[in-house]
Chains A and B, each alone.
Chain A
Amino acid sequence: MPFIANTAEQQKQMLAEMGLTMEKLFSDIPKGLLCGQLNLPDGLPEQEVREVLAGLAGKNSIDLTLFLGGGFYDHFIPAAVYSIISRSEFYTAYTPYQPEVSQGTLQAIYEYQSTICRLTDMEVANASIYDGGTAMYEAMMMALRITGRNKVIIDTSVNPIYRVMIESYTRNLKIELVQTHCATGLVDREQILAKLDNDTAAVILQNPNFFGCVDDFSDIAEAAHKKGALLVVSCYPISLGILKTPSSMGADIVTGEGQSLGMPMSFGGPYLGFMATRMEHVRKMPGRIIGRTKDRNGTDCFVMTLQAREQHIRREKATSNICSNEALCAMTALVYLSLLGKEGLRETAQLCADKASYAYSRLTAIPGVKSHFKAKWFFNEFVLDLPKDAADVIGKLIEKGFAAGFPLSRYYPDMKNCILVCVTEKRTKQQIGMFAEALESVL
């Protein structure tokens, strides 16, 4: 049904026809919920609106050189990505409801699923979910369903925003969330083992973790499996170009934020949650799954499969009632990965690591700046101890044209002067040098 605007005169006529007043028409809605008169200014001509909006937009600090990561990353996006995804055949935000007539979209999602499987080395991926945080929440719920248990261990080195999301989603559920504290940059095995028991459904970890440190969770996977628990690993997809895959560590469910795969950083989204698991758990996985089959003429075709798990069929017992496919973002990730190819992804990841390593040595050479953790291995982010309050330093560097990093005290109160610095393949040697000089000048 189209939106049909009506005039005050037409409203009067319609109400008269029904024998109602506007108050009576909306009498079922409690008074406190009605918005009444909206406090909106009078309309403006389009040209003036553009000027007002341009003025507001001008207040943003743009063109900063980014050394800020913390879950979202400034990677180069080839122009072809946008050209391809903006074709009208692909330009939908959603899985089509009549899948059979949208073979192209279904094929694209199927190929997206295949690339996620290749990337994570897992057996089956879904058509995507909202973002990295909800993907982790869904993985946790999936682990609870698989094991029939209700205790979950999550480490503080997992992205704090994801942890806030999980706490928020599970506040009214009977789930025991146990937190282990990361003090060295790497997951403390002793704490995990002490908390891991026969009631544990899952251990949730992240690699590289929020501090950028790289770990190998193979031993934790083994310990978890011995207790009948699952290992959930959230990962940074670009890093998989060079790092050991979660699958080879023994992870049972792999999730992550897909923004780094061709999506610009844009005030919180829309982004992409990806999720993959082993075939034995496929029926417990939420979200849409596109499958490949043959039609009655023996021709390859694509269908939505295993739908009985989903909310439109399974209703309140569905694997999830809050998830949705992010078709256009999934398409973006697919196009980005296809353009880079295997070699391109590996090179991008290597460049990130090499440039971060160079930046680390430049920045830690500044008097008073030290590495916070002793842990040696990081991917493209690292934590520095500054001699001053990190938030103040970041504020001063914005004036010099740099988004210097993330002040960790925002989520870790004991890390007062700590800054999380990120370097992607986009940063040049010159930019890194200028950043080091700028940082030194404000300390």
Chain B
Amino acid sequence: MVVKGLLYTKDHEWAKIEGDIAIIGITDHAQNQLGELTFVELPDVGKEIKQKGELAVVESSKAASDVYSPVTGKVIEANTKLEKNPEIVNDDCYGAGWICKIQITDKGSTQNLIDAAQYEIYLKGL
């Protein structure tokens, strides 16, 4: 499942751009590959992060994967609901299962993200 209007990375993160704020999460494909999440290591608020930098860690019973930042900026909020209930990511990865919000400091970093149609094509090629 891919949602229109979001931007994607080939590492299976999504970003919803609202002005200079990006809401970040992992895609349906990513949560499906991982299986039921048991833990999400959230970034600290205030953390400065470059595009493709290690932002968070999502852990299931069979794997732990890094979540790379789709944009360059500063973390302004983390979804602390995931600390107690990481499975929200499995249930609603594009909605309630968002991971954090980033204040974009380098607008140019959104330019190389792909749109929903391109991501869908990319997934078919995997």
A283-B39, A283-B41 known; A308+B66 contact, CB < 8 A: no
Once bound together, how far apart are the Cα atoms of A297 and B90, in whole Å? 27
Verify if A288 is at the interface (C-beta below 8 Å from B): no
Interface size on B, residues (CB 8 A): 10
Classify the secondary structure of B's interface with A: strand
Provided the pairs A283-B41, A308-B38 are in contact, do residues A313 and B66 lie with their beta carbons within 8 angstroms? Answer: no
Judged by a CB distance under 8 angstroms, whether B124 is at the interface is no
Contact B62 A313 (CB under 8 A): yes
Name the distance in Å between B34's Cβ and chain A's nearest Cβ: 10
The 18 sampled A-B contact pairs (Cβ below 8 Å) are A283-B39, A283-B41, A307-B61, A308-B38, A308-B39, A308-B59, A308-B60, A308-B61, A308-B62, A308-B63, A308-B64, A309-B64, A313-B62, A313-B63, A313-B64, A314-B64, A317-B64, A317-B66
Chain B positions 28 through 65: 1 when the CB is less than 8 Å from some CB of chain A, otherwise 0:
00000000001101000000000000000001111110
Shortest distance in angstroms between B119's beta carbon and chain A's nearest beta carbon? 25
Instruction: Kindly report which residue of chain A lies nearest to residue B38, judged by CB atoms.
Output: A308
CA distance A308 to B39 in the complex (A): 10
Given the complex, which residues of A lie within 8 Å of B62, measured CB to CB? 308, 313
Residues of A within 8 A of B39 (CB): 283, 308
Give the distance in Å from the alpha carbon of A308 to the alpha carbon of B59 in the complex.
Answer: 7
A309 CA / B39 CA spacing, docked (Å): 11
Closest to A148 in B: B44
Q: In the complex, what residues of B have CB within 8 A of residue A317's CB? A: 64, 66
User: Which residues of A are at the interface with B, using a C-beta cutoff of 8 A?
Assistant: 283, 307-309, 313-314, 317
Complex Cα gap A283–B40 (Å): 11
Centre residue among B41, B59, B62, B64 by max chain A CB count within 10 A = B64
* A residues near B59, Cβ cutoff 8 Å: 308
A286 to chain B, nearest CB (A): 14
Closest residue on chain B to residue A310 by CB atoms: B64
Determine the distance from Cα of A283 to Cα of B39 in the docked complex, in whole angstroms: 10
CB neighbours (8 Å) of A308 from chain B are: 38-39, 59-64
CB distance from B125 to the nearest CB of A (A): 25
Q: Return chain B residues, CB-CB under 8 Å to A309.
A: 64
Nearest CB in chain A: distance from B53 CB, A: 13
Least CB distance from B17 to A in Å reads: 28
Distance A314 CA – B38 CA, assembled complex (angstroms):
15
B30 to chain A, nearest CB (A): 15
B89 to chain A, nearest CB (A): 15
Chain A residues, CB < 8 A from B60: 308
- A-B contact sample (8 more), CB < 8 A, given A308-B38, A317-B66: A283-B39, A307-B61, A308-B39, A308-B60, A309-B64, A313-B62, A313-B64, A314-B64
Interface 1/0 per residue, B52-92 and A, CB below 8 Å: 00000001111110100000000000000000000000000
A273 vs B61: C-alpha distance in the bound complex, in angstroms? 27
Residues of A contacting B63 with CB < 8 Å? 308, 313
Tell me the complex Cα distance, A283–B38, Å: 12
Complex interface: chain B residues within 8 A of A283 (CB): 39, 41
Cα distance, A214 to B109, chains bound together (Å): 56
**Alpha-carbon distance A48/B62, docked complex (angstroms):** 54
Specify which chain B residues have a CB less than 8 angstroms from the CB of A314 in the assembled complex: 64
For A307, list chain B residues within 8 Å (CB).
61
| Cα distance A93–B22 in the bound complex, in angstroms | 51
Task: Give B67 Cβ to nearest chain A Cβ, in Å.
Answer: 13
Q: How far is the CA of A263 from the CA of B122 in the complex (A)?
A: 58
**Whose C-beta in chain A lies nearest to the C-beta of B54?**
A317
Residues in chain A near residue B41, CB distance under 8 A: 283
CB distance from B102 to the nearest CB of A (A): 18
Query: Complex Cα distance A317/B60, Å?
Result: 15
Complex CA–CA separation, A161 to B16 (angstroms): 53
**Which 4 A/B pairs are nearest by Cβ-Cβ distance?**
A308-B64, A308-B59, A314-B64, A313-B63
Of all chain B residues, the one with the shortest Cβ separation from A307 is B61
Q: What CA separation (Å) do A283 and B59 show in the bound complex? A: 11
CB distance from B96 to the nearest CB of A (A): 23
* A300 CA to B38 CA, complexed, in Å: 21
List chain A residues, Cβ under 8 A from B38. Answer: 308
Most buried by A among B39, B59, B60, B62: B59
Contacts of B66 in A (CB 8 A): 317
- The CA-CA distance from A308 to B61 in the complex, in Å, is 7
A305 → chain B closest CB, angstroms = 9
A307–B41 Cα distance when bound, in Å, is: 15
The residues of B that contact A313 with a CB separation of less than 8 Å are 62-64
Q: How far is the CA of A308 from the CA of B37 in the complex (A)?
A: 11
